[in-house]
Amino acid sequence: MIKPVGSDELQPLFVYESDKHDALKHEAESLPSILLSSQAAANAVMMGSGYFSPLPGYMNVTDAMGAADKMILSNGKFFPVPVMNLTSKEQVDNLAGAKRIALRDPNVDGNPVLAVMDIEAIEEVTPEQMAKMTEEVYGTADPEHPGVAAFNSQGNIAVSGPIQVLNFSYFAEDFPDTFRTAVEIRNEIAERGWKKVVAFQTRNPMHLAHEELCHMAMDRLGCDGLVIHMLLGKLKPGDIPAPVRDAAIRKMVELYFPPNSAMVTGYGFDMLYAGPREAVLHAYFRQNMGATHFIIGRDHAGVGDYYGAFDAQTIFEEKVPEGALEIEIFKADHTAWSKKLNKVVMMCEAPDHEKEDFVLLSGTKVREMLGRGEAPPKEFSRPEVAKILINYYQSIQ
């Protein structure tokens, strides 16, 4: 199986040993604490799950700037984005000089302890440093960009140091059939006997074109299996909730993929909408979960018009340090139903086609149809998937 990034074995930060876990949980109740931002909490879940291995905890400002600028930390290791615990001066002032603290979950009622942290540094991040990280990671400083807004709303005090994770926030409880750690996915890949595995990222239900893209990648790469890996964390307003996406994707796999060819899984993270840089992060943690290949299509992880259509592909040749990742990228173009060929094709592979030769529907048009109880054409969406989405859209009217 493919090795994790930067080490021979995964290094998840979740405390699995029961006695140690109980003792740490008990200790945490007596420690000073801070309430994490949603983004910092998601970072803790990803580190606990092994997806961000071999990070030992939250980055200090030097490492965060190195990740943002060159994707290289001060120890020479590769990581594509800052992983920070940013908070306010008021919260830090309440710690009274403590060196060991509890980190509380903002996304669960009662704010239970998510992790315990040994503080190595508390640093003020200058406006210039925040601006530099924002520009490098998101490619823009526009406060209307949802990722930019979330990153810059957390505070300007960086609390860094190693953590020990005690739970997986709401993800394991709310999505028991879907949330999986990198450790669990690696184990299942091994149990299934898969050697060559392609991963597909989604924050949306999968239409027919997405389904066929996965089949294309599996066929062309000669893969044993596909891991459909959906984001379960916070999205922007208007995106379809994770339980609805989950139900739609599971129905598609049940009906249109052979047995033992596809796993439906999810991970606990808030979407960054960082386009190219987030594509690299996606590849990073897909390697950690055991995938040998990763599909990156047009405008991967983007939002609005902030990124070029294929920036998320070219960044791997232009900016990712050579040898940093072993996972291979399957470059995809937009896929759509060809009226000429009577099948789904990559648009770049149909040079004799005009736009009108494809079945293309905007997201707005599809939402309007579903809201009226109308299924999109079968060339766009499987009817069984459309039924699930119709029920959702009609329930929110």
- pLDDT of 189 reads 98
Is it the case that residue 29 has pLDDT exceeding 80?
Answer: yes
Catalytic positions = 203-204
* CATH 3.10.400.10 in the chain, residue ranges: 18-169
How do residues 302-331 score in pLDDT, each as one tens digit?
999 999 999 999 999 999 999 999 999 999
Q: What strand order describes the sheet that includes 328-331? A: 262-267, 225-231, 197-202, 293-296, 328-331
How do residues 191-246 score in pLDDT, each as one tens digit?
999 999 999 999 889 999 999 999 999 999 999 999 999 999 877 777 788 889 99
Q: Are 340 and 334 in contact (CB under 8 A)?
A: no
Omega of the bond leading into 4 within 30 degrees of 0 (cis): no
Residue 344, strand partner residues: 337
Runs of H (alpha helix) within the chain: 18-28, 38-49, 61-69, 89-93, 127-138, 146-152, 171-174, 182-192, 208-221, 242-256, 276-288, 311-318, 363-371, 383-395
**What residue type is assigned to position 379 of the chain?**
E
How do residues 116-146 score in pLDDT, each as one tens digit?
999 999 999 999 999 999 999 999 999 999 9
Instruction: State the number of CA atoms in the 13 A half-sphere of 229 facing the CB.
Output: 31
What are the angstrom distances between the C-alpha of 306 and each of 138, 251, 288, 349? Answer: 9, 33, 28, 26
Pairing, β 225-231 against β 262-267: parallel
- Return the structure tokens found at 27: 């200790």
How do residues 88-110 score in pLDDT, each as one tens digit?
999 999 998 899 999 999 999 99
- pLDDT of 255 reads 96
Handedness of CA 11, 17, 18, 21 (dihedral sign): negative
- pLDDT of 363 reads 84
Q: Please state, in angstroms and rounded to a whole number, the distance separating the CA atoms of residues 233 and 152.
A: 18
**Looking at domain 176-267+273-395, which of 1.20.1260.10, 3.40.50.10240, 3.50.50.60, 3.40.50.620 is its CATH number?**
3.40.50.620
CATH class of 18-169: alpha beta
- What average pLDDT does range 40-46 have in this prediction? 98
10 Å Cβ neighbour count for 35? 15
Contacts of 198 (CB under 8 A, 6+ apart): 214, 217, 218, 221, 223, 225, 226, 227, 291, 292, 293, 294, 295, 330
**What residue type is assigned to position 212 of the chain?**
E
- pLDDT of 396 reads 86
- pLDDT of 104 reads 98
Q: Are 230 and 371 in contact (CB under 8 A)?
A: no
Mean pLDDT of the chain: 95
- Return the structure tokens found at 16: 């699995």
Q: Please state, in angstroms and rounded to a whole number, the distance separating the CA atoms of residues 9 and 293.
A: 19
Runs of H (alpha helix) within 257-310: 276-288
- Return the structure tokens found at 206: 């999968």
- pLDDT of 92 reads 95
* CATH 3.40.50.620 in the chain, residue ranges: 176-267+273-395
Is it the case that residue 49 has pLDDT exceeding 80?
Answer: yes
How do residues 249-297 score in pLDDT, each as one tens digit?
999 999 999 999 999 999 999 999 999 999 999 999 999 999 999 999 9
Q: Are 380 and 208 in contact (CB under 8 A)?
A: yes
**What residue type is assigned to position 14 of the chain?**
F
What pTM was estimated for this model as a whole? 0.95
